[in-house]
Structure 1
Amino acid sequence: MTNLVEVRNLKIEATTDAGRVVEIIKGVSLDIADGEIIALIGESGSGKTTVALSLMGHARPGCRITSGAINVNGKDMAALSEKERAKLRGTDIAYVPQSAAASFNPASTIMEQVIEVTRIHRLMPPEQARKRAVELFRALSLPDPDGIGARYPHQVSGGQLQRLSAAMALIGDPKLVIFDEPTTALDVTTQIDVLKAFKSVMRAGGIAGVYVSHDLAVVAQIADRIVVLKGGEVQETGTTAQILSAAQHPYTRELLAAFEPKRRQAQAEASTNQLLRIDNVTAGYGAAREDGLPLIRAVNSVSLVVEKGRNLGVIGESGCGKSTLARVIAGIHPAAAGDIVFDGKELQRAAGNRSQDQLREMQIVFQYADTALNPAKPVEDIIARPLAFYHRLDKQARSKRVDELLDMVRLPKALRYRHPSELSGGQKQRVNFARALAANPKLIICDEITSALDTVVASAVIELLKELQRELGLSYIFISHDLSVVEAICDEIMVMYNGERVEQITPDKVKAATHPYSKLLFSSVPKLDPTWLDGLVRDPELVSQYGHR
């Protein structure tokens, strides 16, 4: 088997905003054979995407390839001119981005965008290109392959758009396709369909691939070999089976261990003290109807109970109403109907009508720390804000408490002077959490707080939450679409579908779920087993009724 790609001693430098030059890729070497799919895995900032993009001869703004050879199909991408590289992009080598939604032009039809590569490179006449596109739509298991090209990007689902992005990459018959975390933003039920489609098309065409991800279970389903990266260096390389069953490097073993966080110790006896109870809560968007309920119901007659010192997980696909429910409980999005009782007292539906103590005792930590933290303020000001607002502490007392809170979330005290842009994703989320703890709450609502973090960092955040709960007697509502995370920290799991609560079970009863949607959801979670996807058999009736193709 000959090598399609040979990378030798690749080095890439980046220039910081302060003008300092930092080597971010430090002598990486790797090979990819014809028709072989390799995965680049590692934590955020390990260099996965930077290495993958270098195969197209591309370096992101502020970065430059300083040395090394990047041979793709006999051509050194690093030595070619930009004009020569442009001729190879879309023909010899293609790219499938993480966010297909951000890559499509909303003003053009899908078909015009998919066949654009053939027009730019003059590969075939427009009519032939359209026929080829329909063949790819069919091969990628897209619904209505003959008609979907006439739609606009906003008229198809996220999973469909991701597969259409693959069709765009494949239409030029490339020899190598780079997949940059293409399923990260998808629900597990949609992710399975997309993975199956990618795998079958790549196999059928004998196309080589590079799959960038931090999700080992996804990688296990599609890759022949795995390259483990950390700090811009290769830590370990091996076949998928070797890496999963007999990893040699300590960092690889750490990645594997983080895939399934340790479960929280079950409570010896259930608390009988209700901290939160919501009854038949309905909320949504759009104009109110005659009955006072919103035109579009995002949350429909949902009831739940959270007991003191215990945790409730809320799980379901995107758009099922999880985050709206969190905002309703916090009073950010007032309910249209139903009751919310917190610590024995009925709450007003809107946060603005609640007492300061009620606001203090219930905090929410948002999914994206990037947008939740004020970029213009240093960390100490961000954490000190609730201390001044809720507790009226003076400057000296606030400063001391900020140090204590940073220590609580395992961050060095020196970080207090930094701005959010100077922190990693995991550090930002810990600051986000420290700010919630500053209020001294009884309940913290965690809205997808680990979804933007890589596996190792997410695992560390979960362990931190468990430790803080033991120390402070907190309760959590944990909203996620990641079942392993919810199982690791929650006493009860509530499944939502289409704005409604369809089932509530304990983590140890997941395999005995009774609702059809719960069964489909739990059976779609990838396993650390390379044969899992090929052997997966899902009930066609469940998929057609509850799956979003």
Structure 2
Amino acid sequence: MSSTVPTARLTGLTISLTDGTPLLTGASLTLEPGRVHAVTGPSGAGKTTLLRALAGALPPGATVTGELTVLGHDILTLAPEPLRRLRRERLAYLGQDPGSGLNPRMRVERLITETARDRSRTALLDLLQQVRLPADQQLERRRPAALSGGQQRRVALARALARRPDLLLLDEPTAGLDTDLRDEIADLVRRLAHRDGIAIAVSSHDPHFVARCTDTTLALRAALPPRETVPGPSCATGLDGTDGTDGPKGQDGPKGQVGPDRVAVLTVRSLGAHVGSGPTRRQVLSGVDLDIRRGSLTAVVGPSGCGKTTLLRALAGLHPAGAGTLALDGRPLSGTLRRRTRDQLRCIQLVPQNPLGALNPARTVAGALTRPLELHGSTPREQRAARVAELLTAVGLPTDFSTRYPHELSGGQRQRVSIARALAAEPAVLLCDEVTSALDAATADGVMALLGDLRTARGLAVVLVTHDLHLVDAYADETLALPGTGPLPVPLPVPGGP
């Protein structure tokens, strides 16, 4: 289905921050009804900025040149009330962290039907089926906290589709989803556009997803010159107080050589956990055993909703464990955050799946990175600015990013800031939840190389939740496979691993 009247058109669109920093340079794109349009490019090229511009949402004070028309309006000059009405009735935007936009007190049923054109239960169940969410597990009665990251993403998509928009903007819609589910979402996106005549724009780093569902592709170039990821200073220390320089030796490629004689930093035995309460209570982890050793990378894989994020949050003390025990450096570790000592809190750091929701929007990057330096007292006040610069360099970001706020960063840049913040505490164990899902392949490899350097030099233990089997094969020493249903999870050997 096609039309001579485009849904949206941008010509020579250039967007810069108040200090002149370019976010998007000279982009041109025409969005037509019934077609899926992809926006690709490296992290920081302006993909998110372009989609947000189409939704009429830009950083305060941003400078804009070029032309932009959306649904017959110059959306960047539209008055607040007409803009709200346009977004409510004809336009839907899903950011990289759509779960953060879900009201935590609302149940799924109300979240989807709140702005739906058809609020019947039949329509609700149809939407759940479209986005591949189970309709037979009382999922519609759950709140966002009882959903996995992938399930939150699909609830947000169902909420957007319930409005039957003319323009649908999806920023990395398959981040954090397993391969089969990514293919199903790609087929759904293509079917919606062709069947319902919706104009859809998607940003993605996944070439398979782009090839499967899109009709046209706009490839953006980096708005800033690419920065080489440079290994930074030590960001992890051993639990015994040493600097870890006698850590893993004989590294062959990205994998560490972790022998059976190396003592585990974090030990997990018979761990169990559930989500929800009352009739929506559901067991997601049962009988998990895990030995996380210094210098190793343990990958956690499994289908969306199987409990991968819950496992990391339980290890970090953010989600109550219903059963099992934890030990840090051979000593019992409380499963509750409040009962852990300051040093135990420092030693285990979590990099969440959705950095936008984890970074304080009122703090600059420097403020976010300085906070752990203040809490743990690891860096004298007069050295903190230099330490912030070192951390930014370590994750491949320019040092002048220290003055930016989270909304002035791309999704990939926010993810790297989140990693730098965790490293600032100099942890012994780093829990990484889909930290590469919003990054292009080159940047993802750079982040993994950085973690590899830290593992080798300082004995940092990394637990990585991912759906990217390429990263598992290339970097993991051990893999924990969590099934959606079936037998209890057991550690699996990695082909070619030690």
The match for 1:340 is 326
Give the alignment partner of residue 277 of structure 1, picking from 267, 285, 307: 267
Q: Distance in 1 between matches of 2:391 and 2:76?
A: 51
Q: Distance in 2 between matches of 1:110 and 1:203?
A: 23
Q: Distance in 1 between matches of 2:325 and 2:134?
A: 44
Q: 1:138 to 1:65 in 2, by over 3 A?
A: same
Give the alignment partner of residue 10 of structure 1, picking from 9, 12, 21: 12
The match for 1:226 is 217
Q: Distance in 1 between matches of 2:85 and 2:348?
A: 56
TM-score using structure 2 length:
0.67
The alignment partner of 1:230 has SS state of: coil
1:290-305 equivalent positions in 2, closer than 5 A = 297-305=283-291
Displacement of 1:490: 1.4
The alignment partner of 2:489 has SS state of: strand
Displacement of 1:97: 3.3
Q: Distance in 1 between matches of 2:78 and 2:201?
A: 23
The alignment partner of 2:495 has SS state of: helix
The alignment partner of 1:168 has SS state of: coil
The alignment partner of 1:194 has SS state of: helix
Superposed CA offset, 1:148-205 (max 9, x none): xxx89969965366246335326xxx5x655454444655444333322232343346
Q: Distance in 2 between matches of 1:38 and 1:296?
A: 38
State the one-letter code of the partner of 1:11: L
- How many residue pairs are counted as aligned between the two chains? 447
Indicate conservation of the 8 Å contact 1:328/1:334, yes or no.
yes
Q: Once superposed, what is the RMSD of the aligned Cα atoms? A: 5.2
Q: Distance in 2 between matches of 1:450 and 1:284?
A: 26
TM-score using structure 1 length:
0.62
State the one-letter code of the partner of 1:299: L
Indicate conservation of the 8 Å contact 1:366/1:446, yes or no.
yes
Matched, 1:212 2:203: yes
Superposed CA offset, 1:487-543 (max 9, x none): 443112212245985343344399xxxxxxxxxxxxxxxxxxxxxxxxxxxxxxxxx
Q: Distance in 2 between matches of 1:369 and 1:340?
A: 26
Q: Distance in 1 between matches of 2:220 and 2:50?
A: 10
The match for 1:448 is 434
Indicate conservation of the 8 Å contact 1:311/1:475, yes or no.
yes
Displacement of 1:274: 3.1
State the one-letter code of the partner of 1:97: L
Indicate conservation of the 8 Å contact 1:313/1:490, yes or no.
yes
The match for 1:384 is 373
Q: Distance in 1 between matches of 2:141 and 2:274?
A: 26
Q: Distance in 1 between matches of 2:30 and 2:348?
A: 52
User: What is the identity percentage for the equivalent residue pairs of Structure 1 and Structure 2?
Assistant: 28
Q: Distance in 2 between matches of 1:138 and 1:421?
A: 31
Q: Distance in 1 between matches of 2:163 and 2:455?
A: 48
**Alignment gaps of 5+ in structure 2:** 227-251
Give the alignment partner of residue 296 of structure 2, picking from 310, 316, 332: 310
The alignment partner of 1:309 has SS state of: coil
Indicate conservation of the 8 Å contact 1:367/1:452, yes or no.
no
Q: 1:385 to 1:411 in 2, by over 3 A?
A: farther
Q: Distance in 2 between matches of 1:484 and 1:229?
A: 25
Displacement of 1:312: 0.8
Q: Distance in 1 between matches of 2:352 and 2:128?
A: 39
**Alignment gaps of 5+ in structure 1:** 117-128, 234-249, 252-262, 289-294, 511-549
Q: Distance in 2 between matches of 1:471 and 1:429?
A: 23
The match for 1:545 is none
Displacement of 1:340: 2.6
The alignment partner of 2:450 has SS state of: helix
Q: Which protein has greater RCO, CA pairs closer than 8 Å, 6+ apart?
A: 2
Q: Distance in 2 between matches of 1:144 and 1:87?
A: 32
Larger Rg: 1
State the one-letter code of the partner of 2:12: L
Q: 1:225 to 1:490 in 2, by over 3 A?
A: same
The match for 1:198 is 189
